[in-house]
Amino acid sequence: MAEKLQVDANIALEGLLFDGMTIAAGGFGLCGIPETLIYAVLESGVRDLTLVSNNAGVDDFGLGILLAEKRVRKMISSYVGENKEFERQFLAGELEVEFNPQGTLAERMRAGGAGIPAFYTRTGVGTMIAEGKEVRRFGDSDYVMETGIVADLALVKAWKADPYGNLVYRKSARNFNPMVATCGQVTVAEAEILVPAGSLDPDSIHTPAVFVQRFIRATSNEKRIERRTIRAEAA
């Protein structure tokens, strides 16, 4: 078995990055994002990227740091708030955006990872989402065809990883990560905790090692609160 555990993020991504590539990244908001690997992508200088992710982080964190440096040509996402630079680039015609309903985006990545080229869904029928796409009628309802997504590279953030690359995510940080992990031609993971072989309950493994080609111990585990909302102190 080839050694999957890499010394750091730069080495883990060595030979995998090129201009114009498509990268799928896990995370929801700022939760469960592979920030160590994202920083390494930024440092590599790669550009003209197509990013597949629920959202684009915020202006100075997550995928937002790639947007800020004009490294992104296209975003395939389902939520476009919380990032002023994203908005500015889109409205200025500097960034192409392919908007997907959230469940559709998740299923597109799951389908791509399962070798399913396309599927039909009722979500988006009769809206701008369906424009230019095939619509077929099954029973009494119309369905729009969506294509599976296969990325050149998938980046995910796990809570625990064993030496083989089996991954466990923690609570809501699981989000899109399991689907992202399957849809990459190559998947690189970062994990907060590395555990010995045999210490993970097989029934608790969310992403089996067969989907992971390389992984690292994460060195950036900042858990930001995207929007802090608190009650005013009582008088």
3-state secondary structure of 186: strand
Q: Do residues 76 and 105 touch, judged by C-beta distance below 8 A? A: yes
pLDDT confidence of residue 227: 75
Q: For 9-115+149-217, which CATH class?
A: alpha beta
Domains of the chain, by residue range, sit at: 9-115+149-217
- Please tell me the predicted confidence (pLDDT) of residue 228: 80
- The share of the chain scoring above pLDDT 70, in percent, equals 99
Contacts of 86 (CB under 8 A, 6+ apart): 56, 64, 67, 75, 80, 95
Residues 207, 76: Cα–Cα separation, whole Å? 23
Residue 35 above 70 pLDDT? yes
Whether 161 has a pLDDT exceeding 80, the answer reads yes
pLDDT of 47-90, one tens digit each? 999 999 999 999 899 999 999 999 999 999 998 777 899 999 99
d(CA 118, CA 111): 7
Q: Are the C-beta atoms of 78 and 108 separated by less than 8 Å?
A: no
* Gap between the Cα atoms of 85 and 105, Å rounded: 22
Mean pLDDT, to the nearest integer, of 112-140?
97
DSSP state letters, 157-177: EEEEE-TT--EE--GGG-TTH
Q: Residue 143 carries which side chain, given as an amino acid letter? A: Y
In this prediction, residue 120 carries a pLDDT of 98
Split at pLDDT 50, 70, 90, the class of 219 is: very high
Mean pLDDT of the chain: 95
Q: Are strands 96-99 and 214-217 parallel, antiparallel or unpaired?
A: unpaired
Sign of the alpha-carbon torsion through 46, 107, 101, 58: negative
Query: What local confidence, expressed as pLDDT, does residue 1 receive?
Result: 53
pLDDT of residue 30: 92
pLDDT band at 223 (very low <50, low <70, confident <90, very high): confident
- The tokens describing 65, both together, are 């740091």
User: pLDDT value at position 65?
Assistant: 97
| pLDDT-based confidence at residue 225 (cuts at 50, 70, 90) | confident
